[in-house]
Amino acid sequence: MTDMRDLDIRSPHDGRSVGHLPIATDEEVAGAVLTAREVQPKWAATPAAERGAALRQAAAVLRTHADELAKVLEQETGRPVASAREGVLAGVSTLEQYAELGPVHRGRSLLGSWDATDFMVPEPRGVVVALTPWNDPVAVACGLLGAALVTGNAVVHKPSERCPHTGLLMGRLVAEAFPDGVLHTLIGDGQVGARLAADRHVDLVAHVGGTATGRSILAATASTGAKALLENGGNDALVVDADVDPQWAAAQAALGAFTNAGQLCTSVERIFVHQAIAEEFLRALEVEARNWVQQPLVDVEHRKLVHAHVVEAVADGAEVLIGGEVPDGPGAFYPATVLTRCTPDMRVMRQETFGPVAPVRVVPSFEEGLAEAVVDEHGLAATVLTGSMAHAQRAWRTLPVGTVKVNAVFGGAPGGAAQPRRMSGTGFGYGPELLDEMTSMKVVHLGQFQPRRQDSADWRRTASASRTVSSST
């Protein structure tokens, strides 16, 4: 059945229309996947150095259009232009990184018998579907697309329905560097994503986004046999020890909770602070929140979810130190909010809020804070602020998450990979390890050639004749 629906994008600043885009039909979804499957073998046969060169060309085009992309992203999601541009340039760097890593991605030789050769070689999986989010759409998409394309896969990309103009523009720019059909960009909502995830001609579904969607993708790929590569939601904890400067810790907490209006996968979602510094920490965090520049959330519907977490927490006994109210006027603005007297059973502590909300729980000891931080169904990341090497060591050993940060809520070396756990996903994201995810390893055994019986007899007669001629001369 043909789907003629449109996406209607409204500005999170004032609610005005940003634009309309038609949603891909069932025929367009199926056609994009089949075209990708048809062209993929030729792309896989392209020398790795040429695939890397195409990625470098795509990175150069994105860099040239960074300002344009940032403006479109700001219009759709409310992310400030300067921050949006940083995200675009981060994507450019990721493409450049994979342009270098892809051609040197390698297998390994194996030790077998003397008269045989054994080795393992990585091969592209085939058709990769990339379903990417709205909160950092260019940077995230560049990671998945870059790793998939440079290893010889064809890609069908569906950007989030909350920033389709950004995704469409990025897709058109990047596709210029590749042969026709190697990269498709489809516009659509969750139904389009579900159709792609369930398509039996797809070999890998890569998704960065919410946990519920990740669960549905796992169910779909269990039926089709495709690999699922998922980074789902997180509920990242921040544990604050007794021996740190409370004002510095509050600045770190504010940075983690309020950056991009709290709309980052690794935002600080719940805070456990030692009672010895709790009072001063909370005063400092309130000041930080007061001075934080208010940003809109991505849309009004998302703001409703964020505010519901706050309202429920207050009803269950939490105290609002600052914020916590929906402002008057147009748009989807929400203030930086600090809650105290939070308990582990509150939804604001159990689930990802994904907004500028800092729920704080005062704990009697570092050990208690760490123990409560461990109790969570997610496993994306966590942060510990401490002056004790013993506590830092215990924390990173204990926390069941893919990434642990000590004394900095953000940061990390280039090329680092992340492997989320439990409900936060499966598989590596970013880094050289993502190239492994985008390929399958084939084991090859080359045995010694054994000639046929007739061939062997002919060879012996030829050799005998040669010896006869040699001796007669």
The predicted pLDDT at position 460 comes to: 57
* HSE of 249, CA atoms in CB hemisphere, 13 A: 27
Mean pLDDT is lowest, of 77-91, 312-326, 337-351, 409-423, for: 409-423
Query: Is the pLDDT at 440 greater than 70, yes or no?
Result: yes
The single-letter DSSP state of residue 223 is: H
The predicted pLDDT at position 469 comes to: 44
Mean pLDDT is lowest, of 123-132, 171-180, 460-469, for: 460-469
pLDDT single digits (tens) 380-428: 889 999 999 999 999 999 999 988 999 998 987 777 778 888 887 888 8
Model confidence at 472, pLDDT cuts 50, 70, 90, reads: very low
Model confidence at 461, pLDDT cuts 50, 70, 90, reads: low
Query: Is the pLDDT at 213 greater than 70, yes or no?
Result: yes
Query: Is the pLDDT at 40 greater than 70, yes or no?
Result: yes
- Secondary-structure percent of the chain, ordered helix, strand, coil, rounded to 5: 45, 20, 35
Model confidence at 1, pLDDT cuts 50, 70, 90, reads: very low
Mean of pLDDT over the chain: 91
pLDDT single digits (tens) 235-256: 999 999 999 999 999 999 999 9
The single-letter DSSP state of residue 17 is: E
Query: Is the pLDDT at 322 greater than 90, yes or no?
Result: yes
The predicted pLDDT at position 425 comes to: 80
Mean pLDDT, rounded, for 116-145: 94
Helix (H, G, I), strand (E, B) or coil at 112: coil
Model confidence at 38, pLDDT cuts 50, 70, 90, reads: very high
Q: Between β-strands 108-110 and 319-322, what pairing exists: parallel, antiparallel or unpaired?
A: unpaired
What are φ and ψ of residue 232, in 5° steps? -95, -165
Q: How far is CA 93 from CA 116, 318, 353, 411, in A?
A: 42, 43, 30, 16
Go through 105-135 and write b for each residue having 16 or more CB atoms within 10 A of its CB, e for each that does not: beeeeeeeeeeeeeeeebebbbbbbbbbbbb
Rounded to 10 deg, the angle between the 164-175 and 137-150 helix axes is 30
pTM over 0.85: yes
Mean pLDDT, rounded, for 1-22: 84
> Which secondary structure element, helix H or strand E, spans residue 459, and what is its range?
helix 453-472
Helix (H, G, I), strand (E, B) or coil at 186: coil
The predicted pLDDT at position 471 comes to: 47
Nearest Cα neighbor of 257 from 342, 165, 367 is 342
Concatenate the DSSP letters of all residues of 259-297 into one string.
GGGG-STT---EEEEETTTHHHHHHHHHHHHHHSPP-B-
Q: 261 with 299: CB under 8 angstroms?
A: no
| Distance in angstroms (rounded) separating the CA atoms of residues 65 and 409 | 30
Give percent above pLDDT 90 in the chain: 77
Mean pLDDT, rounded, for 132-153: 95
The predicted pLDDT at position 176 comes to: 95
Beta bridge partners of 100: none
Residue 126 tokens, joined: 């085939």
| Distance in angstroms (rounded) separating the CA atoms of residues 209 and 415 | 21
pLDDT single digits (tens) 147-189: 999 999 999 999 999 999 999 999 999 999 999 999 999 999 9
> Which secondary structure element, helix H or strand E, spans residue 51, and what is its range?
helix 48-64
Mean pLDDT, rounded, for 27-46: 97
